[in-house]
Amino acid sequence: MAPSRPHRPFPARADPSPRQRRPLATRRHGNAEGRGGSGAQLLPSGGKMAAGAAELRRLQWRLEELEQRVVGGDGACGPRKVVDELVKVQVALSNIAGKRERIKILFKKIEDVIKYLDPQYIDRMAVPDAMKLQFILAEEQVIPSRAALLEQVKNLQPMLDSASIQAVPDHAAKLQRLSQIHIQQQEQRQDLTDSVKTLLEDYNKMTLLLSKQFVQWNEILTRLEMAKEAKPAAE
């Protein structure tokens, strides 16, 4: 196996002349000049045909350079062609598909899979009119309500274009300030609520203590009255 030659950068040179690069058919079938005919005799007469032949040679040269850059090659076995490599890959895939039944079945279904993955496949399906009618009848109970909602949206559409709605961005700064004030008032309301709750608890405690004190005083007065009434009876 011959050592691979180092990769050379793509040379920046002018289009090759017919002597530097000959057409692929000329190289495959031999040198026309060596067979007795001149290279000029292979080209059709006329300026347009000569320009077309030169363009063909230039494209062929670029294709060969591209194959050399992509595939590579050495001097021993010569440059390899991209088409030949693709043929080898195709043959290898065919051999694999022939040996394995599942892969063979998969290859047969590739076209169907591509067809089903097409977003327009459903649109191309022929749905019978009877089935379309069934779809409409299935939504018969909902269609009137949806139609009414759509009509309501249509009637309210001018409101979105009104001056009040259009002026909303202009009042964004004011709304931000009002939001801050509202948050501060909420905090103050919470503090006031806590204070009122504390006062109510103190009031309830004071009321309970006064009630107990009045009960005690009532008991004392009752005992004193009973003692006063019992003293004259004893005399």
Residue 231 has pLDDT above 90, yes or no: no
Looking at residue 6, the DSSP 8-state letter turns out to be: P
Instruction: Identify the band that residue 15 occupies on the pLDDT scale cut at 50, 70 and 90.
Output: very low
Q: Which of 25-39, 104-118, 125-139 has the lowest mean pLDDT?
A: 25-39
- Give per-residue pLDDT as tens, 166-210: 888 888 888 889 999 999 999 999 999 999 999 999 999 999 999
Q: What is the pLDDT of residues 65-97, one digit of tens each?
A: 887 777 665 544 455 577 788 888 888 888 887
* Shared domain check, 142 and 106: no
How many residues are given for the chain? Answer: 235
Q: Does residue 140 lie within any of the structural domains?
A: yes
Quick one: pLDDT at residue 207? 95
Residue 28 domain-assigned? yes
Q: End-to-end CA distance of the chain: give it in Å, rounded.
A: 151
Q: What pLDDT shows up at residue 192?
A: 94
- Inside any domain, residue 61: yes
Residue 43: which residues within 8 A CB-CB, separation 6 or more?
Answer: 49, 50, 53
Residue 232 lies in a domain: no
**pLDDT reported for residue 73:** 56
Residue ranges making up the domain that contains 99: 87-125
Residue 235 within a domain: no
Residue 149: pLDDT band by 50, 70, 90 thresholds?
very high
Could you tell me if residue 59 is inside a domain? yes
Residues 102 and 60 in one domain: no
Least Cα distance to 27 among 67, 62, 61 occurs for: 61
Q: What is the full DSSP assignment across 14-45?
A: PPPPTTTS--HHHHHS--TTTTT--HHHHSPS
